[in-house]
Structure 1
Amino acid sequence: MPILGLGTDIIHIPRLRALLSRHPPARFARRILSPSEREAFAAKFANFRLDQPLPLRQDEDSVTQRRVVTFLAARWAAKEAAFKAMYPTWYLKFSDVSIRNVASGGGKPYLDLNPAVAVKTSVSASHVSMSHDGDYAIAQVVFERSS
């Protein structure tokens, strides 16, 4: 299968954390996550106050705060990478792309593209790789086109 596009994106996690100290994570999630991703996000962090901004400084004992930020950072990077992989063939919106895990408890992520967009762009397969370490999250996306 010929490659339609390749996209890569990296995000500085402290920059996103600063944003989430001014605006609640739920607000940011509504902006970048698809409806199904928002449901998974809310379920994953059900015991955490997503409707309030995060403290400016991360609490020493708040692993959950860090997990919220890295979850959102990785998805941001993946969606930006998908946009770059598809451009200029198609102008993707964040809602056109969902990142899912093979297993409900984790597993290899995969990219779920809006079926209408996939048909219009002849995308036959997509691949996503996401990683985060320290202050950075990175993602890479490849779209294949049917021949």
Structure 2
Amino acid sequence: MSLCKSASFTRTAISNASIGNIRGLGVDLVYVPRIMALLSRKPVYLTKFTQRILHEAEYVRATSMIDSRGRHDLFIARCWAIKEALFKSLDTSRQSGFRMRDWNTIDTSSPKPTISGGAIHKGEEFFVSVTHDGEYLLAAVIRGQSDQMSQ
């Protein structure tokens, strides 16, 4: 398939989705052993670090996962990557007031990663995708504005 046809298909797929205008794209790649090293420091540091980056709901979930170390590390890495990608998708003016803990990446009613909290503008939507393989985790966030709000 030619690049032109592929790009056309992507535009059509995005137009047919609920997002009308793409306003930002962010991608982040995390080396999971780096997060594991941060989490293996003193317990006081672990608490400070996780409270600085995790939303209250994420913190509760992370705390409940501490016994299963691998899942705990991967969960923290997932939250970090999504929020870094989210930050990169925002306009510069909104990045200045960005705090990771203000944004929630989990929804107990859905297994898919989501974004809530923070300062989501009216009509603004976020689409999140996360994948991991071995020691790497990748998150991508598309920030869009619905057609009704962009007119």
| TM-score, with structure 2 as normaliser | 0.73
Q: Deviations over 1:67-108 (max 9, x none)?
A: 1111100110000000000031411220231101353xx611
Q: Aligned-residue CA RMSD in angstroms?
A: 1.9
Q: Does 1:132 align with 2:136?
A: no
Change (3 A) 1:77 1:2: same
Whether the aligned pair in 2 keeps the contact of 1:118 and 1:124 (CA below 8 Å) is yes
Per-residue deviation at 1:14? 1.0
The 5 Å alignment of 1:1-147 reads 1-24=20-43, 25-43=46-64, 45=65, 48=67, 64-91=68-95, 92-101=98-107, 103=109, 107-114=111-118, 117-119=119-121, 122-145=122-145, 146-147=149-150
More helix by share: 2
More strand by share: 1
Could you tell me how far apart the structure 1 residues matched to 2:123 and 2:22 are? 9
Greater shift, 7-16 or 125-134, is seen at 125-134
| Bigger Cα Rg | 2
Q: Which runs of 5+ in 1 are unaligned?
A: 49-63
Q: Percent identity?
A: 32
Q: How many residues of Structure 1 are paired with residues of Structure 2 in the alignment?
A: 124
Paired position in structure 2 for 1:53: none
Could you tell me how far apart the structure 2 residues matched to 1:10 and 1:23 are? 25
Greater shift, 68-77 or 14-23, is seen at 14-23
Q: Which runs of 5+ in 2 are unaligned?
A: 1-19
